[in-house]
Amino acid sequence: MSKATLVLVSVTVAAALAACGPPHRDVPAGEVPKLTSLEHLMDAQATIADPQMKKAGAASFTDEDYAAFAEVSSRIQATSMKAKEFTKGPDFDKLADRLHENAVALGKAASAKDQKASSDSLAAMKATCKECHGKFK
């Protein structure tokens, strides 16, 4: 196999593997109303929230963590309300409302730099997402 062919194969494999990775749709809160499908909305939620939800249970957070939590709060408040436009029924809407409440609580906790409340809010968001995905994904 020539060196050029080997490079082409390597690039193709790398691109294919990247396409199989987690969704990446970095959508600011103000742009959420423009999303046109539940799939895109869920990708936007996962992109912003998943890295932060992994921090639930941490013993402490940095100022950068609290700033990221505030951003997650803002975006998840927007996406959770937008989700109801793609409703799958009353149970779906209740979970969207619960996610919104969890996001509001996270924003308050982040503003206060309250480690326990931030961690609890992240855990509640994660549990709500898991419950919704279990029922509707």
Whether the predicted pLDDT of 21 surpasses 90: no
Mean per-residue pLDDT, 18-28: 69
Q: Is residue 4 a part of any domain in this protein?
A: no
Q: Determine the pLDDT at residue 25.
A: 86
Q: How many structural domains compose the chain?
A: 1
Mean per-residue pLDDT, 32-44: 94
Mean per-residue pLDDT, 97-117: 98
Q: Determine the pLDDT at residue 137.
A: 80
Q: Is residue 9 a part of any domain in this protein?
A: no
Count of C-beta atoms within a 10 Å radius of residue 74: 19
| Reported confidence tier of residue 3, pLDDT bands at 50, 70, 90 | low
**SS3 labels along the chain:** CCHHHHHHHHHHHHHHHHHCCCCCCCCCHHHHHHCCCHHHHHHHHHHHHHHHHCCCCCCCCCHHHHHHHHHHHHHHHHHHHHHHHHCCCHHHHHHHHHHHHHHHHHHHHHHHCCHHHHHHHHHHHHHHHHHHHHHHC
Q: Is residue 120 a part of any domain in this protein?
A: yes
| Reported confidence tier of residue 23, pLDDT bands at 50, 70, 90 | low
The pTM is what? 0.82
Q: Is residue 121 a part of any domain in this protein?
A: yes
Question: Of 15-29, 37-51, 86-100, which gets the smallest average pLDDT?
Answer: 15-29
Q: Is residue 99 a part of any domain in this protein?
A: yes
Average predicted confidence (pLDDT) for the chain: 88
Q: Is residue 1 a part of any domain in this protein?
A: no
Boundaries of domain holding 45: 27-136
Whether the predicted pLDDT of 124 surpasses 80: yes
Instruction: Give the CATH number for residue 120.
Output: 1.20.120.10
Whether the predicted pLDDT of 59 surpasses 50: yes
Q: Is residue 96 a part of any domain in this protein?
A: yes
Q: Is residue 127 a part of any domain in this protein?
A: yes
